[in-house]
Amino acid sequence: MSNSNLFQNFESVSAKAWKQKIQFELNGKDFNDHLVWRSIEGIDVKPFYHSETYSKAPSIQHNASDWKIGHSIYVNSIEKSNIHALELIQNGVESLHFILPKEPISVENLLINIDTSNVPIYFEPLFLSEKLIKKFQTFSQKNKTLFYVLQDPIGHLSRSGNWHNDIKTDLHTLKQTITLGENLKGVISIDLGLFQNAGGSMVQQLAYSLAYANEYLNLLDGDAIKSVVFKVSVGSNYFFEIAKLQALRILWQSLTKDYGVSIDCHILTQPSRRNKTIYDYNTNLLRTTTECMSAILGSSDTIINMPYDHLYHKDNEFGDRLSRNQLLILKKESYFDAVSNPTEGSYYIETLTLQLAQKSLDLFKEIEKQNGFLKLLKEGVVQRKLKEHAQKEQRLYDEGIEGLLGTHFQQNPMDKMKSDLELYPFVKQQVRKTVLEPIIPRRISEEIEQKRLKDE
């Protein structure tokens, strides 16, 4: 924490004195039993934190005030997507995320009248293509651009159970695109959000993401990689999520230092789907607001909010406008872009950050001892560990220890949703041949919601 004379007239109080005072107020009750909270991450949360509890604050080399309001567009039509993008920019969006389902794609037509020198653009192709990277490269040479291409064949394997083609072809194509896209900001992404939405702990999310980023560094030329985009999903554990994002930067800095390379850690964040509900859906607005706050304070580069009705409604202007306005209010009216390091001096958050980073590093080392992430993924170890934690978390909700407002407590029996479902909000089962078991995202409230829908 920065030196300040603000409290020079106040006598300092030691951690020991604080604890003695608390013990006195407890009237003989046990300090650890009544005031220390054991989190699901295996971290003990104490009732107070003091500068004496750690010797050095974590170093986060990022300006937390420099974040962008983002928005995703699924590109079914080039013309309509361009019109939509221009409308979004006019209404306050500062960064665009284009999901590209197929080729061919006219980059020039998609980006007509968009100031690509000031608007960071993320392209997420659902395929691998050297031809597409050449198009981006050609456009970049003619125009000033801030392009990130979110290519992640290992993430695709984890989600779907299959490579795009096969391991040799996918990694060869990825390596070629790194060379071809020398004018682009980056061409590799890591999907940390996949583990979060599948019910993984924060330690698992960080360690698994670091481990499969390490696979790319081993398999590709680390010197040629300029930036890696981490796609992060943020849940409702407010302070822990801030610490998770900060721990990610610390871990990435440590890993790349060991390789002797300098690769930017670029964080693209959005709220988690895991804790969202279709009943009492307006509560999703509260959830996404605190999650966006965690994303900002945790030092995200771009934040894409989730509409409150994202689970069961098709894209619509009202839901999009509300989600966009949540970020605009945080930035323009709540001054969440005014401080470069807003968590500096918070002993609680700084301690959580160091603890999450250390626990994740320990798990990462265990993974590497067992020959790396890909091997454990093929053997089903990663999937099994994620399921075990997801089931542990689910039990906390099913037994009422944890709860979702409107789902596990304070249900409104008059809520009816069956006739309002435009999208199927549950896990979709697709029978197909895969080379390994895919990692399946699942929401906490799915089983209860299915029963309530059946009883309507």
Between CA 171 and CA 17 the distance in angstroms is: 58
pLDDT digits (tens, 9 = 90+) for 251-290: 999 999 999 999 999 999 999 999 999 999 999 999 999 9
Task: Judge whether residue 379 has pLDDT over 60.
Answer: yes
The answer on 47 and 102 residing in a single domain is no
Residue 397 lies in a domain: no
The answer on 263 and 238 residing in a single domain is yes
Question: Which runs of E-coded beta strand occur in 185-337?
Answer: 188-191, 227-234, 264-271, 302-304
The answer on 46 and 73 residing in a single domain is no
The answer on 308 and 194 residing in a single domain is yes
pLDDT at res. 3: 53
Domain around 45: 15-53
Banded pLDDT at 406 (limits 50, 70, 90)? confident
The answer on 222 and 189 residing in a single domain is yes
- Average pLDDT on 331-358 reads 91
pLDDT at res. 341: 86
pLDDT at res. 429: 76
Banded pLDDT at 28 (limits 50, 70, 90)? confident
Between CA 57 and CA 350 the distance in angstroms is: 6
The answer on 95 and 25 residing in a single domain is no
The answer on 325 and 205 residing in a single domain is yes
Least confident of 57-66, 188-197, 316-325: 57-66
Helix H segments across 345-444? 347-369, 373-379, 381-398
pLDDT at res. 278: 96
pLDDT at res. 1: 45
The answer on 167 and 111 residing in a single domain is yes
What is the phi/psi pair of residue 71, to 5°?
Answer: -155, 140
pLDDT at res. 7: 64
Residue 234 lies in a domain: yes
Residue 274 lies in a domain: yes
Number of domains in the chain: 2
Residues 6 or more apart whose Cβ sits within 8 Å of residue 169: 163
Structure tokens at 246: 């900060």
Task: Judge whether residue 6 has pLDDT over 80.
Answer: no
Residue 124 lies in a domain: yes
pLDDT at res. 99: 98
pLDDT at res. 52: 82
Tell which residue, 265, 394, 304, 341, has the closest CA to residue 74: 304
The answer on 152 and 47 residing in a single domain is no
The answer on 72 and 27 residing in a single domain is no
Residue 228 lies in a domain: yes
Least confident of 43-47, 50-54, 149-153, 239-243: 50-54
The answer on 217 and 83 residing in a single domain is yes
Task: Choose the final residue of a domain: 296, 331, 349.
Answer: 349
Quick check: helix, strand or coil at residue 360?
helix
Residue 160 lies in a domain: yes
Task: Choose the final residue of a domain: 349, 369, 389.
Answer: 349
Q: Is-contact 221 175, C-beta < 8 A?
A: yes
- Average pLDDT on 350-356 reads 93
pLDDT at res. 197: 98
Q: What is the dihedral of CA 101, 107, 108, 113, to 10 degrees?
A: 70
Task: Judge whether residue 237 has pLDDT over 90.
Answer: yes
Least confident of 71-85, 223-237, 359-373, 397-411: 397-411
Residue 73 lies in a domain: yes
pLDDT at res. 4: 57
pLDDT at res. 130: 95
Task: Judge whether residue 324 has pLDDT over 90.
Answer: yes
Residue 169 lies in a domain: yes
What is the phi/psi pair of residue 110, to 5°?
Answer: -65, -30
pTM summary value: 0.94
Task: Choose the final residue of a domain: 332, 349, 366.
Answer: 349
pLDDT at res. 385: 98
The answer on 133 and 73 residing in a single domain is yes
User: 175-210 burial string, b = 16+ CB within 10 Å, else e?
Assistant: eebbebbeebbbbbbbbbbbbbbbbbbbbbbbbbbb
pLDDT digits (tens, 9 = 90+) for 423-449: 999 998 777 899 999 999 999 999 999
Task: Judge whether residue 61 has pLDDT over 80.
Answer: no
- Mean pLDDT over the full length of the chain: 93
CATH of the domain at 234: 3.20.20.240
